[in-house]
Amino acid sequence: MRILHLDAGKEMRGGQWQALRLMEGLAAAGVESTLLARRGGPLFEAARQRGWRVEPLGLVRVMLLTRRHDLIHAHDARSHTLGAIARSGRLVVSRRVAFPVRSRWKYQRSRRYLAVSEFVKSVLVAGGVPEEDIAVVYDGVPLLEPARGSSVVAPANAGDPRKGAPLALEAASRAGVELKLSSDLERDLRDAAVFVYITHSEGLGSGALLAMSAGVPVVASDVGGLPEIIRHGENGLLVDNTPQAIAAAVRQLLDNPAFARRIGEAARRTVMERFTVDQMVRRTMEVYREVLS
pLDDT digits (tens, 9 = 90+) for 128-171: 999 999 999 999 999 999 998 899 999 987 556 677 888 999 99
Q: Are the CB atoms for 114 and 92 separated by under 8 Å?
A: yes
Task: Share the mean pLDDT of the chain.
Answer: 93
Q: Is the pLDDT of residue 119 over 70?
A: yes
Q: What are phi and psi of 40, to 5 degrees?
A: 80, -5
Q: Is the pLDDT of residue 192 over 90?
A: yes
Return d(Cα 232, Cα 263) in angstroms, integer. 10
Cα gap 274→58, rounded to integer Å: 35
Backbone angles phi, psi at 268, to 5 degrees: -65, -40
Share of the chain above pLDDT 90, in %: 84
pLDDT above 70: percentage of residues in the chain: 98
The model's confidence at residue 109, banded by pLDDT at 50, 70 and 90, is: confident
pLDDT band at 88 (very low <50, low <70, confident <90, very high): low
160 vs 148: CA distance, rounded Å: 29
Q: Name the CA radius of gyration of the chain, rounded.
A: 19
Task: Over range 21-30, report the average pLDDT.
Answer: 94
Write down the pLDDT at residue 87.
Answer: 72
* For range 61-77, the mean pLDDT: 93
Which segment of 34-43, 80-89, 91-100 scores lowest on mean pLDDT?
A: 80-89
Give pLDDT, residue 158.
52
Q: What angle do CA 266, 268, 272 make, to 5 degrees?
A: 115
Dihedral sign for Cα atoms in the order 63, 65, 69, 71: negative
Cα(241)–Cα(200) distance, integer angstroms:
8
Whether the per-residue pLDDT at 223 is higher than 90: the answer is yes
Q: How confident is the model at residue 23 (pLDDT cuts 50, 70, 90)?
A: very high
Q: Is the pLDDT of residue 115 over 60?
A: yes
DSSP collapsed to 3 states, 206-231: HHHHHHHHCCCCEEEECCCCHHHHCC
What are the residues whose beta carbons fall under 8 Å from the beta carbon of 232, sequence distance 6 or more? 222, 238
The pLDDT tens digits for 224-275 are 999 999 999 999 999 999 999 999 999 999 999 999 999 999 999 999 999 9
10, pLDDT greater than 60: yes
Instruction: Report all structural domains of the chain as residue ranges with CATH numbers, in order of start.
Output: 2-139+276-292 (3.40.50.2000), 151-274 (3.40.50.2000)
